[in-house]
């Protein structure tokens, strides 16, 4: 099992965005489906990236998308990474032209120019919120941080991984008073068996009071770790912060 940045022990406790990072977006209900867009921004490209996102947000608004939520890596993780979370009504919406089809030729060209100038690479996935694997306290504030863990389970081990979360981890997290642990299954656009797990927090000082997984699970810790080793292929964490100026909510 390969681990990135931290051991999966602390990752699983603190959760891991982006995404849900979406969780609940500034008072909006948790979407069943969401499109999560990852952008690796070039050094010096942050201004053009921001201008491009603001431009395309207007097209999303005109098409009727109720909100988009933006995140960026901070302190820990791949630098210059931006994440946009967009709710998806259903698969049928992709049979119709996307929001860029409603942009003027001039705005479309401007958007393409800005993004070519700013973005080194991008990736888009479709994820589904898994409420049965999650703990949610309610809407996230407009400005918040999150620890995001991206986990890929071994082939054929998804059901065992989910059962481990439901029967071993969630009860312990709830007993420890953890208020938010938000799990999303990635359905399209990435590795088979990928999950995005997000734990939001208001300020970094909260991390000092966060107990370790070993302390929370107590006598069940060894059994839990054995199950992690059995089911998880790799995991990576990074810290994210919302960037409200690059998202929106329509009223």
List beta partners, residue 20: none
3-state secondary structure 105-128: HHHHHHHHHHHHHHEEEEEEEEEE
Residue 176: Cβ-neighbour burial (10 angstroms; 0-12, 13-18, 19+): middle
Q: Which pLDDT score is estimated for 4?
A: 44
Q: Which pLDDT score is estimated for 210?
A: 85
Q: Where are the domains of the chain?
A: 2-249
CA 58, CA 102: separation in Å to the nearest integer? 10
Within 8 A by CB and 6+ apart from 51, the residues are 114
Q: How far does Cα 179 stand from its chain's mean position?
A: 17
Record the pTM: 0.83
Q: Which pLDDT score is estimated for 207?
A: 87
| C-beta of residue 13 within 8 angstroms of C-beta of residue 173 | yes
CA 8, CA 104: separation in Å to the nearest integer? 47
Torsion angles phi and psi, residue 214, rounded to 5: -60, -40
Across the 251 residues of the chain, what is the mean pLDDT of every consecutive 10-residue run?
42 39 49 93 96 97 94 91 95 94 95 97 96 88 85 97 97 93 95 93 89 92 97 95 93 65
Within 8 A by CB and 6+ apart from 139, the residues are 24, 25, 26, 27, 28
CA 118, CA 81: separation in Å to the nearest integer? 11
Q: Which pLDDT score is estimated for 251?
A: 65
| C-beta of residue 235 within 8 angstroms of C-beta of residue 9 | no
Per-residue b/e over 137-170, b at no fewer than 16 CB within 10 Å?
eeebeeebbbbbbbbbbbeebbeebbebbeebbb
Q: Could you tell me which CATH number the domain at 2-249 has?
A: 3.30.70.100
Q: Which pLDDT score is estimated for 31?
A: 72
């Amino acid at each position: 099992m390969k681990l990135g940045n931290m051991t999966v022990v602390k990752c699983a406790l603190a959760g891991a965005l982006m995404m849900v990072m979406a969780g609940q977006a500034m008072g909006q209900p948790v979407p069943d489906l969401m499109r999560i867009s990852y952008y690796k921004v070039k050094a010096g490209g942050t201004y053009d990236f921001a201008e491009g996102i603001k431009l395309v947000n207007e097209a999303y608004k005109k098409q009727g998308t109720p909100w988009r939520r933006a995140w960026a890596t901070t302190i820990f993780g791949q630098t210059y990474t931006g994440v946009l979370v967009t709710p998806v009504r259903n698969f049928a919406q992709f049979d119709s032209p996307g929001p860029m089809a409603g942009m003027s030729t001039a705005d479309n060209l401007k958007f393409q120019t800005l993004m070519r100038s700013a973005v080194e690479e991008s990736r888009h996935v479709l994820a589904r919120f898994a409420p049965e694997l999650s703990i949610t306290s309610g809407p996230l504030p407009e400005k918040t941080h999150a620890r995001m863990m991206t986990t890929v389970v071994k082939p054929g081990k998804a059901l065992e991984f989910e059962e481990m979360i439901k029967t071993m981890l969630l009860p312990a997290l709830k007993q420890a008073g953890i208020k938010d642990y938000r799990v999303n299954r990635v359905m399209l656009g990435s590795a088979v068996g990928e999950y995005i797990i997000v734990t939001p927090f208001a300020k970094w000082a909260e991390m000092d009071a966060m107990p370790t997984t070993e302390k929370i699970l107590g006598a069940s810790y060894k059994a839990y770790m054995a199950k992690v080793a059995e089911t998880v292929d790799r995991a990576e964490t990074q810290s994210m912060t919302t960037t409200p100026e690059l998202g929106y909510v329509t009223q």
